Structure 1
Amino acid sequence: MKITEIKSCFVGPAVSPEQFIAEHFFLFLAKGTINGYDGNRHYVLKSGDSCIVRKNRLARYNKQKDNNEFEKVIFIFDESFLTSFHKKHSLFFQNHQSKNAFIPIKKDPLISSFLLSLEPYYTESGQINNAFSDLKREELLLILLQLHPELSDILFDFGIPGRVDLEEFMQKNYKFNVNLERFAFLTGRSLSAFKRDFKKIFNETPNRWLIKRRLQEARFLIEEKKERPSDIYIDLGFEDLSHFSFAFKKEFGILASNL
């Protein structure tokens, strides 16, 4: 079996579809392309690539099929599983610091062999048999830590985000479509403290500021970069084009399509 013939599978607890990453996960892309963005940089994963996507980060990604095919393998490393793993195994920490949400995993025969070993465990529904899922998660994590010992600093940090510069954080992450509770958590604040600090810094409510800031960027992209509204509204945090168009007209008194 070739590595590109691996079936899609998803092992671990459910992951929220929002742009807040609540749990670490391993992603292997068997077929297709994934474009990711975490507020700091853009990432491209192609067939045969794998990475760790970090918890407590904002990130979004879109997929592109290859010959109308898209296959991926995802293993969720939730805190409960990691806590049990941590108690069972001796770990060495590297004092490694990284702010990136997507951490590439180098290609290695251990990864390839592991992925191929999943084949006998697929059920008729195309998922990994629950009786073996934690064993396979543990095996994968042991491989990853052997290849990248520095991952121990990331995966086994069970702390919560500390207080950060609110203005800098929001100016970098305003495009992400998450609720205020997520923004508050990621800036190391309670929701009430987040709103209070936000008002002091921006002299505006968070919801109103987010809309205005996204619309300002939209106008710049349309007028200066000649982008089309239909191509940018999702990346700017709007859920649908009609909502974007209504908000744009209300803010600037002109339709975005008329610029």
Structure 2
Amino acid sequence: MEYQAKYISEEIKLSCYEDKFFKSDVMFGQHMLIWFISGETKIVQADASYVFREGDIFLIPRNQLATILNYPKDGRPHQTVVMHLSTDRLREFYAPLDIKPKSRETSKIYHFNKHPLLSSCLSSLIPYFEMDNLPPTLASLKITEAINILRTVDPGIDQTLANFEEPGKIELTEYMEKNFMFNLPLEKFSYLTGRSLSTFKRDFVKVFHTSPQRWLTQKRLELAHYQFTEKKKRPVDVCYETGFENLSHFSHAFKKHFGYGPTELLSRPNGNAV
């Protein structure tokens, strides 16, 4: 896979995947404003999925779990401009403003279609990626411009951008049942549930009576089986949407657990086990 990235600053980059699709399970530590130049992205969250294409603009809030599937399309690479809205940057922006968010951070992805103000702001960055020795104030000005436009387009976005709370300790069962399909290090799960890694592991065993890794693998395989029998999805799609990293490993684990492989299951009448 050919991947290239050009930076105006650490917070603004031009990202390009040239030859084939790229998949990752991620936790967004910063808000990300993304403008699509070409290609296609599917974002799968616990309770929603999204598809974004050329011209789309969207904001992904921080501290969210998601599976990201990036595809080239129509002979063109997957190419995006990505602007990171860091907590430090947003604290500085909101410091003189009297805004007190009333709600906790949302898992909602904000979709702005092809809004002309945001399109103009983000497309104006393209020439800068070919230039050397840009003054550092330039990136700062463009980020401030983007934040101001976001607040103009959606005044309610302050509830997300001005919320600087870190995850607090939450009930483990509901969170893990909702997010088990994301293949992230246990350190990420522990952070998002408001625990140290050692406390997370100890609490997990108390609640689920098994280790986190064993439980996660079983839950992902059970979800995969459901996706085959009820949704009739392709093995490659099920593999990547249930937390596995490659089709070969997924097929082996599936057959070891159920006694038959995905292809065998799908070839049966009605796709059901016997």
- TM-score, normalised on structure 1? 0.83
Alignment pair present for 1:172 and 2:178: yes
Counterpart mapping for 1:148-167 below 5 A:
148-167=154-173
Residue 253 of structure 1, CA deviation: 2.9
- The root-mean-square deviation of aligned C-alpha atoms, in Å, is 2.7
Counterpart mapping for 1:1-259 below 5 A:
12-13=9-10, 18-69=25-76, 70-87=78-95, 89-93=96-100, 95=102, 99-105=106-112, 107-124=114-131, 129=134, 131=136, 132-259=138-265
Instruction: For 1:212, give the aligned amino acid.
Output: Q
Per-residue CA shift, 1:115-148, capped at 9, x if unaligned? 34324433258xx946322221122112212222
Higher mean C-alpha displacement, 204-213 vs 59-68: 59-68
Alpha-carbon separation, structure 1, partners of 2:233 and 2:115: 40
Instruction: For 1:209, give the aligned amino acid.
Output: W
Note if contact 2:55-2:113 (Cα within 8 Å) is conserved in structure 1: no
Partner of 1:5: none
Task: Classify the secondary structure of the residue corresponding to 1:19.
Answer: strand
Note if contact 1:51-1:105 (Cα within 8 Å) is conserved in structure 2: yes
Alpha-carbon separation, structure 2, partners of 1:210 and 1:106: 35
Per-residue CA shift, 1:49-108, capped at 9, x if unaligned? 211111111012223444222432210112222233233x42534635663241223654
* Identity in percent: 34
Change (3 A) 1:81 1:223: same
Change (3 A) 1:82 1:12: farther
Residue 247 of structure 1, CA deviation: 1.8
Note if contact 1:25-1:74 (Cα within 8 Å) is conserved in structure 2: yes
Structure 2: segments with no counterpart, 5+ residues = 14-23, 266-274
Task: Classify the secondary structure of the residue corresponding to 1:212.
Answer: helix
Note if contact 1:9-1:72 (Cα within 8 Å) is conserved in structure 2: no
Runs of 4+ in 1 over 6 A off after TM superposition: none
Instruction: For 2:65, give the aligned amino acid.
Output: L
Instruction: For 1:177, give the aligned amino acid.
Output: N
Instruction: For 2:169, give the aligned amino acid.
Output: R
Higher mean C-alpha displacement, 242-251 vs 203-212: 242-251
Alpha-carbon separation, structure 2, partners of 1:150 and 1:11: 29
Change (3 A) 1:160 1:136: same
Alpha-carbon separation, structure 2, partners of 1:115 and 1:213: 40
How many aligned residue pairs are there? 248
Note if contact 1:29-1:46 (Cα within 8 Å) is conserved in structure 2: yes
Partner of 2:271: none
Note if contact 1:23-1:76 (Cα within 8 Å) is conserved in structure 2: yes
Alpha-carbon separation, structure 1, partners of 2:118 and 2:240: 34
Residue 22 of structure 1, CA deviation: 1.2
Task: Classify the secondary structure of the residue corresponding to 1:184.
Answer: helix
Alpha-carbon separation, structure 2, partners of 1:11 and 1:40: 34
